Structure 1
C-alpha cells in the first residue's frame, strides 16, 4: 500500500485496503459500522457503510445488479465498465485516498472496494434522519409561507433553490472540525455579492482550528467573529425562514449554513437588521411601517423605562411638572433598585423555565408566576406594584424584538443601567447610555459599520429602515454591502410616497461609475 505524505493510496490488493479501513473505521468495535463482503463477476469486493445512513432499497438494487454480472461482462476494462455501465445510480464518485474514503463513509456514503481496483467507488445513497419543514417558532407570521429550515443541510439548500432559480447562485461546501468534520455551506449570488466579502467569510471558516463543532452555528459564529465575548450585541443575524434568507441573498449578503442546525447566519448584519421582521413585508406598506414603529418603540421602552423610572423615583427633583404622580407612594421592604434586579432575575428565570417546561404545564407555570409569586410579593410588601408593571412592560418589549440575541443584549444593557442609576444616579445613566452608543458606533460586522445607515449617515437608506418601502421603490441594493449589481429593478416612473426622492441623472451616472470600478477591481 503506497503512502504519500498524509495520503494513503488505495492498493490493488483487497486485503490491504480492508485491513486499513477496518482499523480506521472501527469495524466490529462499533456496532453501526458495517462491512459487507460480496463477489461479483468473479471478483471479491467489500462494502463499507454506516447502518441507518444508507437507503436500503438503493443498496438492494445495486447488490442485485452486481450479482448478475459474469467475468466476461467486465472485459476488457473492468473498473471503467463497473463504474459507467453496471452501477446504475445518479451520485457516484471515485477516490484514491483511503483517508477521504473514511470521511465519506462517516458522512453517510457507501464505499465499494474491489480487488484489483486502485480506486474506491463512493455511492452517495445517504438518508439522514430529518424532520419535515415547519414554521419557526421565533419568526411566525400571520400570512406567509409555513416552511422553515431543518437540521439537514441538503434540505435547507433545496428550500433556497426553490426560491432563487438563478444559475449564479453559488453554494460552496467547506468543512471544519478535525474530528466532527462538520459541513458548512457558504451561499451567495456570484454577480451580486462582493467577492472580497465572500472570500473573507471563506477565509475565516477555513482558519477554524478546533476538534469539533457540536453546537453548530453558534460555535462557528464565535470562531469567525473574534472579540465577541465582551460585546453582547450580535454581529450576525440568524433566521430559520427561507424567504428571509432569500431576500438577503438578493441584497448582496452571504449566508453561512451549518449542517445539523436549522438556523442560518446572515453576514454582514447591522443593528437595524435585527429589528426587521417578515410580518412587515406581508402587510401593505402603511401597516408594515406602523408595525415597524411599534416594534421600535417596544425596544426603546424595554431598555429605558425601568432605569428612567428608577432615576425619577430616587431623585424627586428631576420629575418634570405634571408628572408628580411618578414614583412609589409607599416604599416596600426592599430598596427599589434591588426590587428591579430581583424582578429582572425572576423574569429571566421564568423564561428559562418556560423553555424546559412541557407544553401541557406551560399554563400552570404562568399561573404560578403571576399569582403565587407576583401577587403575593406585592401583598406582603416585598415589591411595589409599579415595579412589577414596568418590568412586565419591559419584558414585553424584549419579547417583541425579532432577534432573540439582540433582546438578550438589550436585557444586559438594562441591568447595567439599573445598577448605574442605583449607585450613581443621573451621571451613571448618562455614562451607560453614552458607553453603549459608542460601543455600537465602533462595532463592525465584516467591515460594515454596525449603526449603518445612521453612522455613517445615508439618508436614502435610512428612509427604507424608518419606513417600510413599497416593493416598486425597492430598486437599489444596500450600498454598504458594495454589491456588484446595485439595481434590483428599474426606477418607477411615479412617486408612491410624496416625500420619495427620484434618482437624478448625475447620481445614476456616479453609481454606474462606481459599479464599473468594482467590476475592474474584481477582474
Structure 2
C-alpha cells in the first residue's frame, strides 16, 4: 500500500485493501457496515456498503450479472472490460484512493474491490430515507403548489429542475465537514447570476474547516454570512417553496441547498426580501399590493405600538388635547413598564410551548394561555387590560411576518424600545430607534446593502417593493445584483402576420350566427 500525504493508494492485493477499509469503517463493530465476499471471473472480490442506504433490487441485479462472468470475459484489459461492459449500471466511478472509497461507502455507495486491480469501482445505488413533498407550515398559500422541499438534497434539486428547465442551470456539489461530509449544492443560472457573487459563495463554503454541520443550513449560514455574529437581523432568506426559490433564480440570486434540511438559502437578501410572501403573487396585482401594505403596517405596529403607548402613558404631556383618552384607565398592581416586559416574556413562553406541544393539545394550550392566564391576570389586577390588548396586537404582527427570523429580530427590537422608554422616556425611544436604523443601514448581505432600495435610494425599485408589480411589467432584473442578462422580457421578433384581436373573434361569431357571413 502506497501512502502519499492524505492519499492512500489502492493496492493490487485484495487482502491489503480489505484490511485497511475494515479498520477504517469498523466492520464487525458497526452493525450496519456490511462486507460481502464474492468470486468474479475466477478472481476474489469484496463488496462494502451501508445496510439501509442501498437499493436492494439493484444490488441483486448487479450481483447476478457478475456471478455469470468467466475468466475469458475479462480479456485483454480486465479492469476496463469489467468497468465499461459488465458493471451494467448508470452511475459508476473508478477510485484509486481508499480514503475517497470510504467516503463514498459512508455516503451510501457500494465499493467493489477486485484482487489484482489498483482501482475501486464505486457504484451509486443510494436510497436515502425521505418523506414525500408536502405543504410547508411556514409558507402556506390559498392557491398554489403544495410540493415543498424535503430533507433529501436530490429531491430538492429535482423540484427545482421541474420549474427551471434551463440548460444553463448549474448545481455545483461541495462537501463540508471533515467528519460529517455534508453535501452542499450551490445553485444558479450561469448566464444570469453574477460570477463574482457565485465565486465568493463557493470560496466561503470551501474555506469552512469544521468537523460537521449538525444544524445543517443554520450552521452554514454562520460561517458564510457577512457581518457580526451578534447582529439579530437575518442576512439570508430561507424558503421551503420551490416556486419561490425558482423566482429568485430568475432574478439573479444564488441558492444554497444543504442535505438533511428542507430549507433553502437565498443569497443575497435585503430587509424587504424577508417581508415578501408568495401569496402576494398568487393574487391579482391590486390585491397583492393591498396584502403587502397590510403586512408592512402590521410589522411596524408590532414593533412600535407597545413602546409608543407606554411612552404616552408615562408622559401624558406629549398627548395632543384631542387624544387625552389614550392611556391606562387603571394602573394595576405592577408598574406598566414591568407589565410589558412580563407580557413579552409570557408571549415568548407560549410560542415555545406551542412549538413543543403536540398538535392534539394545541387547542388546550390556547385556552390556558387566553383564559386562565390573560383573563384572570387582568381580573385580579396584576395587568392592565390595555397592556394585554397592545401586546396581543404586537404578537399578531410578529406572526404575520413571513420570515420567522425577522420576526424574532423585531421582537428583540421591541424589547429594546420598551427598555429604552421605561428608563429614559422619549430620549430612550429616539436613541434605540436611531441605533436600530444605523444597524440596518450598515448591514450588508454579501455586499448588498440591507436597506436597498431605500438606502441607497432607488425610486423605481422602491416602487416595486411597495406596490406588487404585474408580471408583464417586470421587464428587467434587479440591477443591484449585477446580473449578466438584465432583460427578463427581450424584445420579440416582428410578427409575420397580424395578431388576432379579441373583438374580431366575437364579431365573426356574431356574423355567423346572423347568417350575414357568406
- Class of the TM-score when normalised by the shorter of the 2 chains: over 0.9
| Residue 313 of structure 2 corresponds to residue 343 of structure 1 | no
1:171–1:187 contact (8 Å) kept in structure 2: yes
Q: Secondary structure of 1:265's partner?
A: strand
Q: Name the counterpart of 2:422.
A: 422
Q: Secondary structure of 1:160's partner?
A: helix
**Superposition pairs of residues 290-309 of structure 1, within 5 angstroms:** 290-309=290-309
Quote the offset at 1:321 in angstroms: 2.3
Q: Secondary structure of 2:72's partner?
A: helix
| Residue 185 of structure 2 corresponds to residue 179 of structure 1 | no
State the 4+ residue runs in structure 1 displaced beyond 6 angstroms.
Answer: none
**Superposition pairs of residues 86-105 of structure 1, within 5 angstroms:** 86-105=86-105
| Residue 24 of structure 2 corresponds to residue 44 of structure 1 | no
Q: Name the counterpart of 1:108.
A: 108
Q: Name the counterpart of 2:283.
A: 283
Quote the offset at 1:246 in angstroms: 0.3
- C-alpha distance in 2 between matches for 1:226 and 1:485: 26
* 1:12-61 CA distance string (max 9 Å, x none): 00000000000111111111011100002101000000010010000011
- C-alpha distance in 2 between matches for 1:322 and 1:153: 60
Q: Name the counterpart of 1:513.
A: none
Q: Secondary structure of 1:183's partner?
A: strand
Quote the offset at 1:387 in angstroms: 0.5
Quote the offset at 1:491 in angstroms: 6.9
How many residues of Structure 1 are paired with residues of Structure 2 in the alignment?
Answer: 492
Q: Name the counterpart of 1:70.
A: 70
* 1:249-299 CA distance string (max 9 Å, x none): 010000011000000000000000000000000000000000000000000
- Which is worse superposed, 319-328 or 440-449? 319-328
- C-alpha distance in 1 between matches for 2:397 and 2:364: 23
Quote the offset at 1:229 in angstroms: 2.5
Q: Secondary structure of 1:187's partner?
A: strand
Quote the offset at 1:77 in angstroms: 1.6
- C-alpha distance in 1 between matches for 2:134 and 2:193: 29
Q: Name the counterpart of 1:194.
A: 194
1:475–1:491 contact (8 Å) kept in structure 2: no
2:227–2:444 contact (8 Å) kept in structure 1: no
Quote the offset at 1:184 in angstroms: 0.5
Q: Name the counterpart of 1:205.
A: 205
Q: Name the counterpart of 1:165.
A: 165
- C-alpha distance in 2 between matches for 1:370 and 1:148: 33
- C-alpha distance in 2 between matches for 1:228 and 1:447: 14
Quote the offset at 1:394 in angstroms: 0.2
- C-alpha distance in 2 between matches for 1:263 and 1:321: 51
**Superposition pairs of residues 93-492 of structure 1, within 5 angstroms:** 93-490=93-490
- C-alpha distance in 2 between matches for 1:67 and 1:82: 12
* 1:168-209 CA distance string (max 9 Å, x none): 100001111111111110000011111110000011111111
* 1:345-403 CA distance string (max 9 Å, x none): 10000000000000110000000000000011001000000000000000000000000
Q: Name the counterpart of 1:503.
A: none
Quote the offset at 1:227 in angstroms: 4.0
- C-alpha distance in 1 between matches for 2:178 and 2:166: 34
1:473–1:491 contact (8 Å) kept in structure 2: no
Quote the offset at 1:78 in angstroms: 1.3
- C-alpha distance in 1 between matches for 2:90 and 2:177: 29
TM-score (norm 1): 0.93
- C-alpha distance in 1 between matches for 2:400 and 2:330: 32
- C-alpha distance in 1 between matches for 2:230 and 2:162: 39
1:94–1:119 contact (8 Å) kept in structure 2: yes
- C-alpha distance in 1 between matches for 2:484 and 2:20: 49
2:312–2:318 contact (8 Å) kept in structure 1: yes
Quote the offset at 1:336 in angstroms: 0.3
* 1:111-162 CA distance string (max 9 Å, x none): 0000011110000000000000011110000000000000000000000011
- C-alpha distance in 2 between matches for 1:294 and 1:129: 41
Quote the offset at 1:490 in angstroms: 3.8
Quote the offset at 1:469 in angstroms: 0.1
- C-alpha distance in 2 between matches for 1:360 and 1:27: 44
Q: Secondary structure of 2:322's partner?
A: coil
TM-score (norm 2): 0.94
Quote the offset at 1:74 in angstroms: 1.2
* 1:87-114 CA distance string (max 9 Å, x none): 1111111100000001000111100000
- C-alpha distance in 2 between matches for 1:186 and 1:242: 15
- C-alpha distance in 1 between matches for 2:334 and 2:179: 52
- C-alpha distance in 2 between matches for 1:101 and 1:208: 22
2:256–2:264 contact (8 Å) kept in structure 1: yes
- C-alpha distance in 2 between matches for 1:196 and 1:15: 48
Quote the offset at 1:463 in angstroms: 0.9
- C-alpha distance in 1 between matches for 2:234 and 2:70: 62
Q: In structure 2, list runs of 5 or more residues that go unmatched.
A: 493-518
- C-alpha distance in 2 between matches for 1:466 and 1:241: 23
Q: Name the counterpart of 1:504.
A: none
Q: Secondary structure of 2:99's partner?
A: helix
* 1:424-465 CA distance string (max 9 Å, x none): 000000000011001101110000000000100111111110
- C-alpha distance in 1 between matches for 2:331 and 2:451: 40
Quote the offset at 1:228 in angstroms: 3.6
